[in-house]
Structure 1
Amino acid sequence: MSFKAILTQLVQSVPGATGAIIADWEGETVDHVALRDDYELKITAAHLGIILTRMKELQGRLSADPVREAVITLADQRVILGPIGDDYLLVLTLDREAIAGWAMVKFEHVQAILLKEIY
């Protein structure tokens, strides 16, 4: 299945989802689906890649379990981000009112699918 199809299915299965993107470790877009501004989604993913990298570094220093995903709540949206292996990042953007728990279930499912597809 193509990345575009996987991301489209994720966005369509989560009420309130506004976009999903796969980016590499440098923040470059691999593929994406945006219901709003493409550019904004790509910039968001690039910046969140930096945050995920810092979280992984902290996890390594603390000898903690690996980071699986994180939810960041902003004034007008929620963002779920998580690694796909060591080299990629998955980001799902949501309206502020979206139910994050439901979105996380779908997000984790897609993470597992993409891990198999990529590696």
Structure 2
Amino acid sequence: MSFQKILQPLIKDVEGAIGIIFVDRDGEAIDHYSKIPDDDIKLLGAYKSIIIKNIQETSDRLELGSIREIVIFLDEAVLILSPVAEGYFLLLFMQPQSNLGKGIMRLKDVIKKVREEL
């Protein structure tokens, strides 16, 4: 199943949005849409599993609950990781000067649509 029709509008509608990837718990790409090379966005998706695993293990140990969203600010990018369903995540890759609020709101819309397709 292709999720292109769901993922693509976010990248086109949010200024500074670079790519979005839908991945499973192991970081394997299910689908993506990106302005950067496929291998680069897939690499980001693959490494997200390490980040999520470490944060969730710490959260479990401290009894803080499940991950609702992870935002990572880098010098040259912003990464937003959001759970879609058990074992599935969306990763949005944006430029640092992007409208973060708009990116998060549109990401929530995409999550709803992806859930409907699962």
- TM-score strictly above 0.5: yes
4+ residue runs over 3 A deviation? none
The alignment yields a C-alpha RMSD, in angstroms, of 1.6
**Deviation of residue 2 (structure 1)?**
4.2
Say how many residue pairs are matched: 118
Q: What residue is the counterpart of 2:71 in the other structure?
A: 71
What's the CA shift for 1:116? Answer: 2.6
> How many angstroms apart in 2 are the aligned matches of 1:2 and 1:76?
29
Aligned equivalents of 1:73 and 1:25: distance in 2?
22
SS at match of 1:47: helix
- What TM-score, normalized by structure 1, do the two folds share? 0.89
Normalising by structure 2, we get a TM-score of 0.90
For residues 57-112 of structure 1, the C-alpha deviation after alignment (integer angstroms, 9 at most, x for no partner) is 22222222321111111121111111121211101111111011111111122122
Structure 2 unpaired stretches of 5+: none
Asked whether the equivalents of residues 2 and 31 of structure 2 are also in contact (C-alpha less than 8 Å), the reply is no
Identity of aligned residues (%): 32
* One-letter code aligned to 2:35: L
Gapped regions of structure 1 (runs ≥ 5): none
- Residue in structure 2 matched with residue 27 of structure 1 by the alignment: 27
